[in-house]
Structure 1
């Protein structure tokens, strides 16, 4: 192994020329940008925050994405896998965070408190993650990812109709614009290859924004008063609030995202020809946990390693982790420019709808793809596990008052379809299959 380590390591550690680094780093930022800003847009909309507050959440999000990406790619002690990994907020936490934020006693401060605590607790779990992995074979992982897609696809659908609470909800002009954005994205993905295809969603949002401007549906009010530069300071909204069940909920979410991150790390290690061992996995997961703590401090949400950017590494053929470093620097800079964030916050909800259906639907499709590889013929009980667990995932959506007679303190757990599906899948898998199934994270 020592004879092959040097040539394998060189592409990852090599530093391309500065201009090439900037170009490649910007490409990575553009690929992840739409997904990165989606979570603050979802949270802001669900909590009915004003545009300036949503813009701040976007800035804080981008800033923290950059900081944590730098830690992951550069590496500091036991933190950082030192591969071209881009960090961003996870979709898996959206449902629980909305539930926490809607609690009048918690709000954003409750979300940030639970985020800080969950990151700190999950950091303690990292050395034990190998033992936890056996509870998450591909069957369970597929159910969890599918439930994430099911829990957020409704956001994109409601966006397409103008957003929940809109007086013109379902107006034909909203539906047609969302459809136009969706068709535009499909045309790019069908007829264009390479980098442009990878930013199809972002281009679709820009296309829809232009249409909305001609329709007179875009308001840039306040952008002239917004500063070009502003620091992101900790606890902008006040001190965080800590509540037991909110912390437990987001901690479970973090353990779930660890499974996805491990699979991504292993796949990326193969692409860049630097096999990822257990020690490297722990360093990568440590940053997921630390990034979540940092996110809570700086007014944003749980972070995880973004899998969307892995494909770009394969397309460009450039394996250098310093491309990730450059992407991190660009993200930090973007987070310090409030005008850009307010511009993003000004995108009409119905424009986001077409893009949201694609983004959130892809999460759902990923889960279905994993479940399609499960053995249903020789292990017939797997059908029951999938059916019951996905049924549990839909309870908060189809019957919001199903648990209304139970204690309010349990709301973050009981109102999260992701957690209900996860608990169901783990327990039913243990009941029917024990621990005999393969638990290699790469399979997920």
Structure 2
């Protein structure tokens, strides 16, 4: 009897161990839950990597509209608040309808800046009319993205490996000039101090990545940003104006500047921009799925794009601008190997809190552009590297895939090399093609249709 009981107990223990092993085995990296300390550290790294870039759009558009410094600070708070809500929605999802449940940081779209500055320029001397007209266009644009997302989701069949690899490569290559611009001071004089600070930050990050092991090595970007900012502060290169003028606590009230105004020309211009943004967002969504290992289908693409529409509508109500994926954070996923959507969800909570704590937001937004530029070489370069990795799986011998990649990357670099290339074309042409990512993506899709067709076996 004792022997039988002993055997039963052994079998029970074996069963328990087997179940636990299977549970661990089936946990995808994207659904992994890290210890609290690691989660907070990696979440903060995401916030530091994107925050200054997110702050730039409210500064540009607020200044163009003629708003006061305190009102621009309000725009920044609103922007970070909605970025937090959008990031939480994208990473955790709302039921099965909104949110791709992927580790994607959301923030204000740079693609819409030129259109919004143009709208503001038609109301010079009347800042409130300018900003409420922008918000009216943003509200309709968000609704448009939300409604069109299911149709865009059907385009996934036009993104075989040769197209997705090309698009991800183009995203990285198109962003690298941003890192160069930041390294030079983001429009300021490219003095030696800016360049030395950027290169010093880059070298520091590389050394940290080389010599730090495990999780500390994965936090090299955060340590690099902090170290670069401290070095800049020592040489008087950090501007704390936003921190000094910001309140300790601030609440973002809906329709702070008044109810939205709906002006047809402004709406049309922003709708065109949203087509561009959705194309770029599709590339970013594909990149995040590839890096994180999450399977992508048309339904998940639709849910991810719906998040952008939902966040953009919410942005109009809470006094900010169109929201979409932040590409620089995609590089972090690949660099660190931390692909958990729960880490990114905590980043969303941090962004939401920064929207309610203006002084803290001001501190993070004070990271100098040259420091961001140094980190940008790594972040944006890793995006391009992932695109090249995808292309390594594509069959080139005996196919026209090399032509697809070559021409698409070349066309994508037109607005990078000559920003005014489309100035003498109709305005809608410039709106659609001023982004190299959009130009290259459309080229890759169309050339793949020309050479490989639709529904044919993918040539890998």
Same fold by TM (over 0.5)?
yes
Corresponding residue to 2:423 among 399, 404, 416: 404
Aligned CA RMSD, in angstroms, stands at 4.0
Structure 1: which 5+ residue stretches go unaligned?
none
Alignment of 1:297-376 (within 5 A): 297-298=317-318, 299-304=320-325, 307=330, 326-376=346-396
Given that 1:101 and 1:110 are in contact with CA atoms closer than 8 Å, whether structure 2 keeps it comes out as no
Aligned counterparts of 2:69 and 2:389: Cα–Cα separation in 1: 37
Change (3 A) 1:186 1:261: same
Which residue is equivalent to 1:65?
Answer: 83
Given that 1:73 and 1:84 are in contact with CA atoms closer than 8 Å, whether structure 2 keeps it comes out as yes
The higher radius of gyration belongs to 2
SS in structure 2 at match of 1:223: helix
1:99 lines up with 2:118 in the alignment: no
Alignment of 1:38-437 (within 5 A): 38-43=52-57, 49=63, 56=74, 58-72=76-90, 75-80=93-98, 83=101, 85-89=103-107, 93-94=109-110, 96-103=111-118, 104-105=121-122, 115-129=138-152, 131-164=154-187, 166=188, 169-221=189-241, 223-235=243-255, 239=260, 242-258=266-282, 260-261=284-285, 264-265=288-289, 268=292, 282-298=302-318, 299-304=320-325, 307=330, 326-379=346-399, 381-436=400-455
Deviation, structure 1 residue 154: 1.5
Q: Return the TM-score normalized by structure 2.
A: 0.75
Change (3 A) 1:175 1:122: same
Aligned counterparts of 2:416 and 2:392: Cα–Cα separation in 1: 24
SS in structure 1 at match of 2:243: coil
Change (3 A) 1:31 1:308: farther
Aligned counterparts of 1:222 and 1:263: Cα–Cα separation in 2: 34
Deviation, structure 1 residue 425: 1.6
SS in structure 1 at match of 2:106: strand
1:230-263 Cα distance to aligned partner (Å, 9 max, x none): 1223455664764324312323422442354356
SS in structure 2 at match of 1:303: strand
Aligned counterparts of 1:152 and 1:55: Cα–Cα separation in 2: 27
Deviation, structure 1 residue 284: 4.7
1:310-356 Cα distance to aligned partner (Å, 9 max, x none): 6799759xx7x766655543332122111122123323322222122
Deviation, structure 1 residue 180: 0.7
Bigger relative CO (Cα 8 Å, ≥ 6 apart): 1
Given that 1:63 and 1:332 are in contact with CA atoms closer than 8 Å, whether structure 2 keeps it comes out as yes
Aligned counterparts of 2:219 and 2:301: Cα–Cα separation in 1: 28
Aligned counterparts of 1:236 and 1:384: Cα–Cα separation in 2: 52
Aligned counterparts of 2:223 and 2:131: Cα–Cα separation in 1: 30
Aligned counterparts of 2:136 and 2:156: Cα–Cα separation in 1: 27
Task: Select between 400-409 and 413-422 the one with higher mean Cα deviation.
Answer: 400-409
Given that 1:245 and 1:413 are in contact with CA atoms closer than 8 Å, whether structure 2 keeps it comes out as no
Change (3 A) 1:51 1:199: farther
